Structures are given as structure tokens and as C-alpha cells.
Amino acid sequence: MALLLFVPSAELAVKFLGWPLTGAYAVGLVLAGAVIFAIERHDRLAPLVQRREWLLAAGWILVMAVLLAVVYPLAQSGVYGRGSDRDEALTAGIQALLDLRYPYYERTYFGGRLSPMPGALFLGLPFHLMGSVAIQNFVYGAGCILLAARALSGWRTRWLLLPLLTLGNIAFLQDYVTGGDFVLTSLYVGVAVWVNAGAIERGEGGPSAMAKAAFLGLALCSRPIYAVAAVALAAHALRRQGLRSAAAFALTAGTAAAILILPFYLYDPAAFLPSHILNFMPPPLRWLDTALPAAALLLATLPVVRPMDVWGLFAVTAAALGLILVPGAAVRMATDNPSLYYLAPPALYAAAALLGRMGRREKDRAGKGRAVYQ
């Protein structure tokens, strides 16, 4: 797990900490993971940690609130660097919507075009009206982590693991304190995957299942790469419930996404999907910008032929996202344009799959087997 946290954070760690402290950070991640696992297996310490979960959770929430309140204004001030324009992209896009202007003509203060899709703009709208779109990082982030704690109920030390996954994750922290939504989108898409996988597993139907599928459609409209999650869930539904249920799921999620996307796309396709989104690779490798997403979508259909639980779905989604993002990050590293932080979403999904599987084994070992979906 330490590797999944370190790799996306490595270039940021070197930038802010230097090489010696980056090495110490890597060692610290390994040691922290080893200590948490040792506590999990300890018959006296693990119950003690479990009884103090409420205190650990409250402490984590307080730290996250303070970090955003203190560090975000510093990041915006420009004193410690140029900051990030991801929050500016959301702010500019949302304000354009409120002013009845086309948001994808806007530019950030770096001169960049907007990457967030309509789902991200609508999810950020309430917080923009509250004064800062960055507030969504705390509200949505805290909500997603609390749901993750429920999903990881097999771990008695889950409230040691979750702070490590967030506070010990420099890629997550950098995006969080600068008001960006790149990592945040992976969290709420992950929640959408979780709730829809549970609905499929239980054979749930009716308005409840439709609402969950519609939420997935909304979440997927944040970044186009998350289409692989929808394909994995549709494949899972086809395997578990048959063609009719899978078609209903896909139709509901697809309709919700289309309602959000089509008006913006039809208004100006070139502005809605600009070259910086479609063309991630350098010109000699531009064909990979089509080939890799196509291969990732094909990989995401694996649940059709191989039955799996929710953790398997997270693993497949992580692999599909990695197939899209890892080659691009590698090419950029080779051309002296590091982009390892783009690997944060697949790394988080892979960590979720790993911890979920391990947590289930810990439940079984302790004789506390419960359903995976709760």
C-alpha cells in the first residue's frame, strides 16, 4: 500500500521536501503501514483502537478542516508558488453558468482551458455560492471518507488507515489544500461505484436503483476517464442480473449523463472537448490517445466473464484508469514534464481494492464474517 501512496506523491515530495526528506517520507509510509497492520493483528491493541474510533474520526475531521482553512488561503496568496488553477477552472466555469455564458470559453489565470465537465460544475455550484468552491473538498471529501470507513468495517484499525490514505498522501493533500477537484472526483465516483455495486448485488430495482444509477451518471460527468467505471458496473449488472437489468442501469446512468453533457457539447464541440483533454500524448504517439481509452473500456468489461465483488470492481476500474494514465505519465517523465500526480485516482482505487480484500479476510479470521455490502 505504501507504494500506491508514494508513486503519485513522489514528484510533489521532491519539489516541496527535497530528495533526503522524500526518502524519509517513503520509509515513513512503509513503517506506518507495518505498524497499523501489527496493531490490527494485536488482540489487545486493536480493540482499544476500535473503541476510540469516534475520537480518531473527529480528530481527522478537525485536521482536514483546519488544513483547508489555513493552507488554502496561503496557496491562493502566491507567496509559496503559483498554486493550482483547478479551483479557478471550477470557479470560472460556475460563474459563467450563473451569468448565462458558455463556461468552456473561459480561461484560468494560467491561461488554461477548463477541464471540469458539467457534473463537476453542478456539484461545485452550492459551494461557489457559499463563497468558495474549495469548501466542497472538505464537505464531499469528509462524506466520502466516512462512507469508506463503513465499507472498510472489516478493519478494526480503519481510523488509522484512512488518515494514512489522506494525510499521508501528498498527492491528495496538494489537490485538497489548493482547492482542486482532480482527486476529489475519484472519491465521489468511488462512492457511486460502491452504492451501485451494492444495488446490483442485492438485485435492487425501482426508484432507489434508478436514483443510484442517476447519481453515477452525474458523478461520471466530472472527468471523461471515469467512463470505465460505468462500463465495469454495466458488465457486473449483466453478469449478475441479466440483460434487462443491465440495460435499465445503463439507460438510466447514460440518460443522466447525456442530459448534462449534450447541451454543452452541441453548443460548441471543439470548445467542450479541447485538445488538452483529447491529446494527452506528444504528436508521435498521438494514436495512443484513442487506443488506450479503447483498450481501457474493453478491460472494464471483464466483470462479464469473471464474477467479482465490489473490491474486484475497484480493482478493474483501477487497472482501466491506469491503462489510460500510466503511459501518459511515463512519457511525460521521459520528456522532463513530470505528471505522476495523475496516477492518484487509479492508486486510490487499487488501495481500496487491496484494503477491502484484506479487511474481509481479517473479518473471517476473527470469526466476524458479514456481508460485503452494508
Cα(232)–Cα(313) distance, integer angstroms:
7
Domain count across the chain: 1
> Is residue 373 domain-resident?
no
Q: Which 3 state secondary structure label does DSSP give 9?
A: helix
> Is residue 12 domain-resident?
yes
Q: Which helix (H) or strand (E) holds 211?
A: helix 206-220
Cα(133)–Cα(246) distance, integer angstroms:
35
Residue carrying the nine cell digits 508514494: 6
> Is residue 371 domain-resident?
no
Provide the residue-wise pLDDT of the chain in tens; the chain has 374 residues. 899 999 999 999 999 999 999 999 999 999 999 999 999 999 999 999 999 999 999 999 999 999 999 999 998 877 666 667 889 999 999 999 999 999 999 998 888 889 899 999 999 999 999 999 999 999 999 999 999 999 999 999 999 999 999 999 999 999 999 999 999 999 999 999 999 999 999 999 999 999 999 999 999 999 999 999 999 999 999 999 999 999 999 999 999 999 999 999 999 998 997 666 667 788 888 899 999 999 999 999 999 999 999 999 999 999 999 999 999 999 888 877 778 999 999 999 999 999 999 998 877 766 654 444 44
* Cβ atoms within 10 Å, residue 228: 26
> Is residue 370 domain-resident?
no
Cα(145)–Cα(71) distance, integer angstroms:
20
> Is residue 372 domain-resident?
no
Contact in structure between 165 and 351 (CB atoms under 8 Å): yes
Q: Is the pTM of this model over 0.85?
A: yes
Chain centroid to Cα 132, Å, comes to 21
Cα(90)–Cα(179) distance, integer angstroms:
9
> Is residue 103 domain-resident?
yes
For residue 180, what is the DSSP state?
-
* Cβ atoms within 10 Å, residue 52: 12
The boundaries of the domain holding residue 320 are 2-365
* 49: CB partners within 8 A, 6+ apart: 39, 56, 156, 157, 159, 160
For residue 113, what is the DSSP state?
B
Cα(188)–Cα(133) distance, integer angstroms:
16
Instruction: Provide the pLDDT for residue 363.
Output: 73
Cα(338)–Cα(22) distance, integer angstroms:
16
Grid coordinates standing for 41? 493483528
Q: Is 301 exposed, middle or buried (0-12, 13-18, 19+ CB in 10 A)?
A: middle
> Is residue 84 domain-resident?
yes
Residue carrying the nine cell digits 485536521: 63
Grid coordinates standing for 314? 475497484
> Is residue 11 domain-resident?
yes
Q: Which of 179, 215, 221 is nearest to 90 (CA)?
A: 179
